[in-house]
Amino acid sequence: MRINVNNRPIETNADTLEVFVSELALPSGGTAVGVDGRIVPRTAWSEFKLEEGQNIVIIKAACGG
């Protein structure tokens, strides 16, 4: 399926947000994910079903000042 991640189209076979985040090899901490304008809590990633055309925003925390 095709989804948009940080304004870039991406093809994925992932069916849930948890599988998709795992495919991207994102760090386990300091990552927030929003889908269609709403933050999805990490505890809901395993049950959150991805759908064609969704807009996903990934935000990673950065250290520094």
| Statement: residue 65 has pLDDT above 90 | no
Split at pLDDT 50, 70, 90, the class of 62 is confident
Look at the chain and report how many structural domains it folds into.
Answer: 1
Predicted pLDDT of residue 63: 76
Closest CA relative to residue 8, chosen from 45, 48, 56, 51: 56
Predicted pLDDT of residue 29: 84
CATH of the domain at 36: 3.10.20.30
8-41: pLDDT as tens digits: 999 999 999 999 999 999 877 899 999 999 999 9
> Which structural domain range is residue 31 located in?
2-60
- Residue 16 has which token pair? 């849930």
Q: Is residue 65 part of a domain?
A: no
The pairing of strands 55-60 and 2-5 is parallel
44-60: pLDDT as tens digits: 999 999 999 999 999 99
